[in-house]
Amino acid sequence: MPKKWFQNWFNSPYYHILYKKRDDEEAELFIDNLCGFLKPKAGSRMLDIACGRGRHAIYLNKKGFEVTGIDLSFSSIKFAQQFENKNLHFYVHDMRQPFYIRYFDFVFNIFTSFGYFETDKDHINALKSFKKALKKDGLLVFDYMNSQKIINHLVTKETKEVDGIEFHISRQVIGGNIVKTIDFEHRNKHFAFKEEVKDFKTPDFERLFSAAGLQIIHTFGDYNLNTFDINKSDRLIFICKKTDA
Q: Are residues 68 and 128 in the same domain?
A: yes
Taking phi over 0 as left and psi of -120 to 50 as alpha, with beta for the rest, 17 belongs to: alpha
Dmax over Cα atoms in the chain, in whole Å? 56
> In whole angstroms, how far apart are CA 2 and each of 6, 7, 47?
12, 10, 29
Q: Are residues 206 and 117 in the same domain?
A: yes
Contact at 8 Å (CB) between 242 and 217?
no
> In whole angstroms, how far apart are CA 166 and each of 49, 144, 186, 209, 242?
31, 27, 9, 39, 45
Q: Are residues 74 and 170 in the same domain?
A: no
pTM more than 0.85: yes
- What confidence score (pLDDT) does residue 208 get? 98
- What confidence score (pLDDT) does residue 17 get? 86
Q: How far apart are the C-alpha atoms of 51 and 174, rounded to whole Å? A: 27
> In whole angstroms, how far apart are CA 30 and each of 7, 26, 60, 235?
27, 6, 11, 11
Regions of the chain short of the pLDDT cut 50? none
**What one-character DSSP code corresponds to residue 213?**
T
Can you give the CATH number for the domain in which 105 is found?
3.40.50.150
Nearest to 109 by CA among 137, 128, 85: 128
Q: How many domains does the chain have?
A: 2
Of all residues in the chain, what percent are helix, strand and coil, respectively (each to 5)?
Answer: 30, 35, 35
Q: Are residues 32 and 112 in the same domain?
A: yes
Contact at 8 Å (CB) between 70 and 177?
no
SS (H, E, C) 7-59: HHHCCCHHHHHHCCCCCHHHHHHHHHHHHHHHCCCCCCEEEEECCCCCHHHHH
**What is the DSSP secondary-structure string of 78-120?**
HHHGGG-BTTEEEEE--TTS--SSS-EEEEEE-SS----SSSH
Contact at 8 Å (CB) between 27 and 55?
yes
Q: In angstroms, how far is CA 188 from the centroid of its own chain? A: 33
Nearest to 90 by CA among 64, 112, 114, 57: 57
Q: Are residues 23 and 109 in the same domain?
A: yes
- Picking from 174, 196, 218, the residue at the C-terminal end of a domain is 196
Q: Are residues 66 and 169 in the same domain?
A: no
Q: How far apart are the C-alpha atoms of 145 and 233, rounded to whole Å? A: 9
Which tens digit of pLDDT belongs to each residue from 44-66?
A: 999 999 999 999 999 999 999 99
The phi, psi pair for 239, rounded to 5°, reads -110, 125
Q: Are residues 127 and 22 in the same domain?
A: yes
Q: Are residues 112 and 232 in the same domain?
A: yes
Q: Are residues 207 and 223 in the same domain?
A: yes
- What confidence score (pLDDT) does residue 245 get? 62
Q: Are residues 23 and 136 in the same domain?
A: yes
Which tens digit of pLDDT belongs to each residue from 72-117?
A: 999 999 999 999 999 999 999 999 999 999 999 999 999 999 999 9
Q: Are residues 62 and 138 in the same domain?
A: yes
Q: Which domain holds residue 186?
A: 150-196
Q: Are residues 161 and 208 in the same domain?
A: no
